[in-house]
Structure 1
């Protein structure tokens, strides 16, 4: 099962920006995530259309199952 940690921020232009992190560390806490998000905002390195991040909006882990088909066997 593939996991992605999505960090959502509000930007100065009223939009939402999402940073996605593949295969995050297991057992993350809300406190750890909030601290990391605050560090990201303070560093001011990510912008959306030239506008900085101004607030933490949401964080979530998205899980998905991927089933691939081996199509080369049928050729």
Structure 2
């Protein structure tokens, strides 16, 4: 199973930008995630096509199962 923590930000031009982190430490501490997102915004190191990150909108863990099949040639 592959898990990803997806952080969702609002940008200065009103659009949405996301940062994904693989294999997050669980259980997720919501207060720590919010604080980390605020630090990311304050650091001003990310710039997207829709402007700088401006506000923390949300976060979610995406849990995905991948099953690969080898096909005979």
Q: Say how many residue pairs are matched.
A: 73
Unaligned runs of 5+ in 2: none
Q: Kindly indicate whether residue 52 of structure 2 is the aligned counterpart of residue 52 of structure 1.
A: yes
1:4 CA displacement: 0.6
Kindly provide the CA deviation profile for residues 16-75 of structure 1, in whole angstroms up to 9, marking residues without a partner as x.
Answer: 00000011112121001001101100100111226211111110000111001123xx23
Larger fraction in helix = 1
1:68 aligns to what?
68
Q: Which has the larger radius of gyration?
A: 1
Aligned to 2:20, what secondary structure does the other structure show?
Answer: strand
3-state SS of 2:13 partner:
coil
Unaligned runs of 5+ residues in structure 1 are none
1:60 is paired with a residue whose SS is strand
Q: Retained in 1: the 8 A contact 2:11–2:50? A: no
CA distance in 2, matches of 1:70, 1:49: 38
Runs (4+) off by over 3 Å: none
TM-score normalized with structure 1 length: 0.89
